[in-house]
Structure 1
Amino acid sequence: MQTLSTPIKAAITELTTTQHEPFYLYDLDKLAQHLQSINDQSIVKLWYAVKANPLSSIIQTLDNAGFDFDVASSGELKQVLSQGIDAKRVLNTGPAKSKRQIEEFLSLGVTTFVAESVNQVIWLQDAARRHDTQLRILLRVQLRWPNNEKNPLGGDSLTPFGLGAQAWSALCLSDYPNLDFAGLHIFQWGNLLDASKLTSLWQQMVEPLVALAGQLNMTLRILDLGGGLGIPYNHQQAPIDWQAILSSLEQFKVQTNIEELWMELGRYAVGECGYYANPVIEQKQNYGTRQLIMAGGINHLLRPAVTGQAFPASCLRSSQAATASFALHGPLCTALDSLGEHQLPDDINEHDWLVFSQCGAYGFTESMPYFLCHALPAEYTYQAGEVRCARSSLTPQAYLR
């Protein structure tokens, strides 16, 4: 996990001279460099999970890096298409594909889908027949594991994603002549940093997935492993070893005799390029705990309340003061509005700004921005030494009707 670079710190500092509300800044140079480093290989096809950050400039940077796009809603699809990206480069995932949404996606040219249920298979076949077209389909499989591991994506918990292997095994693929069943999709863990653990999980998937393909008389040409690659959120964590991941995937590909491996990267693709700048309202002590009350909280940055893991935070101003432990709270009238505990200079005051890093993924668009009618944060990009405003801060008067 990196500290603020000198150009980014200078850009954020300059913005704080005119901004009074929290804002985001995305380092597109850093993003492009990272994307090139992970996509310069031929082992796995990389898709970008748009849910991580749908900002236009982020999508454009992924497009320039050769990624295709995983979308899970009509809104995400239209945002991707509005960047001039061909619908043939879109993969439709997500558990809630209605008949109406399927029809809309086909009308806009999407031809690759992950089916999450038998109903979706039927609806995809009906829509494909009406459009007189062939669709490429992956069946999403949900496996159960003996170690009962939990994870925000499900792990061993029952989730709405896909069906178990036994449920899928009853499907007769020949009943759906307009659907090319190209492979399987499996993704149950998120934000893993241990390459060996991820490899072990993949290895456990081989036997049940290959067995399912055999039961379905499916030629398993494509196996989509989803994402799950994490980024460190504290200084004790080390980044995941991408080269070790590639080595494992290469072996996995040979072992399963599969033509293509796919992954849909979100956090690992864009997480480290984003920063959230947040003004301090006040410092106070409460029952022996030092607290900082911030202008923004889970209305702009929800992840800590969902996962119990905070984004890294640092003081924008340089300070020689000793550090102390602070509990950070946002402005909302709920105890859920916590941004975690952080070691920060003990002279922080109401004139200071904190900068939260690793915020390129699951930041603003995952938040709950309308609660208590606070301003929406502005979003800026940094590229080649220039700061651009992607969206200005919006007051409640601008978004309430």
Structure 2
Amino acid sequence: MTRPVYVHDLHGLAEHARSIRAALPRRVELLYAVKANPDPGVLRALAPVVDGFEAASRGELRRLAEVLPGRVPAAYAGPGKTGEDLAAALAAPVSRIHVESPAELRRLGALAVASGRPARVLLRVNLPVDAPGASLVMGGGPSPFGMDPADAVECARRPPAGIEVRGIHAHLASGLDAPLAGAIAAAVARWSTAEVGAVEVDVGGGMAVDYADPTARFDWARYGQELADVLDAHPHLRLRIEPGRSVTAYCGAYLTEVIDVKRSYGEWFVVVAGGTHHLRTPAAKGHAQPFRVHRRQSAAGPRTEGPVTVVGQLCTPKDVLSRSSTAGPIGVGDVLEFAMAGAYAWNISHRDFLLHEPPLFRIGDPQEVAADWVAGATLS
């Protein structure tokens, strides 16, 4: 039996990224949020298309330096930055550092003065936001992310020595459709220019990804028009976005083989190699990961009938990858191809639980890899 394998379609990823770039006004900078998927192949595929990268840790800074030497990260973000984190951002050097609090700004200023490297920053602000339909709202209430508007205004008006405040960063919600994302961008731009005289605004990411419908896509053309309207209202503003999941989710698949099928109290369970310690996304988001079945004609034993629950090899009832009433018969030896595994998948998984072998990684078309596997090819 071959270990589970991640397959990244880098050609498809580059095409998708180019379509996003083409839908946006040229004055909108497109950054890729590395946290979504820091795979080296993914970073290399995106490098010619995006305007830069947003890193949220020293580890991500190191990964970018290793994979794309000489490419200066466009932004360094994340809460709870240590002195070592801030020093690393100054040394990289990062184009913009997103500052989360007045205390962080003071520490960064002291480091900037000591190093002789001035720090150009965006202040992350926790603005009130009306986001009906968003899957996650991070603005308008008590939050560890960003600073209150009044604190941001004070920091912008009286920055410490060594600091140049260029503008505002506001990632306020996730799971946004294009009209709502555009409305939030417009509100952030209005507040930023009126209250702190910002010349740069980063409105974050948060574009919706629908795991229940793998064919659905965020309306980038509509969003591009919404951002064009923002720029028309603020002709001197530099506007920036930093999507992650909506860029890479569709380029990755997790392939694994069925180990066992069985009934328990009348319900069918499909047990696969691997599990949520390889692909944490369905457990983290509480959804059924979409999958297709590549049937092996020589599969032995019974095949499922009716609805199934697909589980992994972990000693916990939470190790559930998917549930389906439409997958059709599944038997031992079949290969399941879990789609939309290109973001927040392997990189957020609790990979050391039970110390199973890690998955393999391949570049190519997931369906072709699955077909080869079913036909008897060994993936090594």
* TM-score, normalization by structure 1: 0.82
- In the alignment, which residue of structure 2 is the partner of 1:374? 356
Q: How does 1:16-95 map to 2 (within 5 A)?
A: 20-40=2-22, 41=24, 42-86=26-70, 88-95=72-79
The answer to whether the Cα contact below 8 Å between 2:178 and 2:218 also exists between their aligned partners in 1 is yes
Structure 1 spans left out of the alignment, 5+ residues: 1-18, 214-218, 388-392, 395-401
Select which of 285, 300, 307 maps to 1:325. 307
Cα 1:57–1:351 change in 2 (3 A) is same
Q: 1:132 and 2:116 equivalent?
A: yes
Unaligned runs of 5+ in 2: 298-302, 370-378
Out of 182, 192, 203, the position equivalent to 2:166 is: 182
Deviations 1:255-289 (A, max 9, x none): 24452111111111111110100211222222332
Matched residues in 2 for 1:150 and 1:227: separation? 12
Pairing partner for 1:253 from 224, 231, 250: 231
Partner of 1:6: none
TM-align CA RMSD: 2.8
Q: Hey, what's the Cα distance between the residues in 1 that align with 2:117 and 2:282?
A: 44
Give SS of 2:67's match.
Answer: coil
Alignment deviations for residues 179-213 of structure 1 (CA, whole Å, 9 cap, x no partner): 22111011122233x21222233344455444432
In structure 2, the CA distance between the partners of 1:157 and 1:287, relative to structure 1 (3 Å rule), is farther
**One-letter code aligned to 1:282:** D
Amino acid at match of 1:232: D
| Residues 1:266 and 1:255: Cα distance change in structure 2 (over 3 Å) | same
Q: Secondary structure at the match of 1:171?
A: helix
Alignment partner of 2:255 out of 248, 270, 277: 277
**Would you say the 8 A contact 1:230–1:268 is kept in 2?**
yes
2:322 to 331, 340, 359: 340
CA distance in 1, matches of 2:286, 2:190: 34
Q: Which residue of 2 aligns with 1:266?
A: 244
* Contact 1:190-1:228 at 8 Å conserved across structures: yes
Residue matched to 2:375: none
What letter is aligned with 2:239?
A: L
Identity %: 28
User: What residue number does 1:107 align with?
Assistant: 91
The Cα offsets for residues 7-44 of structure 1, whole Å up to 9 and x where unpaired, read as xxxxxxxxxxxx62111000011111111111234041
> Cα 1:345–1:149, aligned 2, differ >3 Å: closer, same or farther?
closer
| Contact kept? 2:214, 2:290, Cα under 8 Å | no
Question: Quick one: which of 175, 183, 186 aligns to 1:200?
Answer: 183
Residue pairs, 1:145-160, within 5 angstroms: 145=129, 151-152=135-136, 154=138, 158-160=142-144
Check 1:357–1:26 CA distance in 2 against 1; reply closer, same or farther (3 A cut): same
Aligned in 2, Cα 1:359/1:345: closer, same or farther, shift over 3 Å?
Answer: closer
Partner deviation per Cα, 1:23-73 (whole Å, 9 max, x = no partner)? 100001111111111123404101111111111111111112243110011
Q: Deviations over 1:155-194 (max 9, x none)?
A: 55633211121232333644424222111011122233x2
Partner of 2:274: 296
Partner of 2:347: 365
- TM-score with structure 2 setting the length: 0.87
Q: Is 1:315 aligned with 2:299?
A: no
Counterpart Cα distance in 2 of 1:131 and 1:38: 38
CA distance in 1, matches of 2:181, 2:131: 15
CA drift of 1:239 comes to 1.6
Aligned length: 363
Give the match's secondary structure for 2:242: strand
Matched, 1:122 2:106: yes
Which amino acid in structure 2 is aligned with residue 376 of structure 1? P
Which amino acid letter does the alignment assign opposite residue 94 of structure 1?
A: G
Note the C-alpha offset of 1:340: 2.6
CA 284–270 in structure 1, closer or farther in 2 if over 3 Å, else same: same
Whether contact under 8 Å (1:323, 1:345) holds in the other structure is no
**Distance between the aligned counterparts of 2:175 and 2:120, measured in 1?**
28
Distance 1:189 1:259, change over 3 A: same
Moved more, 164-173 or 371-380: 164-173
Alignment partners' CA distance in 2, 1:34 and 1:73: 26
- Comparing 130-139 with 79-88, greater Cα deviation is found at 79-88
The answer to whether the 8 Å contact 1:301/1:367 transfers is yes
Indicate if the aligned counterparts of 1:140 and 1:186 stay in contact, CA closer than 8 A.
Answer: yes
Q: What is the distance in 1 between the residues matched to 2:154 and 2:238?
A: 25
Distance in structure 2 (CA, Å) of the matches to 1:289 and 1:80: 47
Deviation at 1:134, TM superposition (A): 2.0
How much does 1:104 deviate? Answer: 2.2
User: 2:308, 2:225 → 1: CA distance?
Assistant: 41
- Of the structure 1 ranges 83-92 and 151-160, higher mean CA displacement relative to structure 2 is found in 151-160
Corresponding residue of 2:212: 234
The question of whether the paired residues in 1 share the 8 Å contact of 2:55 and 2:73 is answered with no
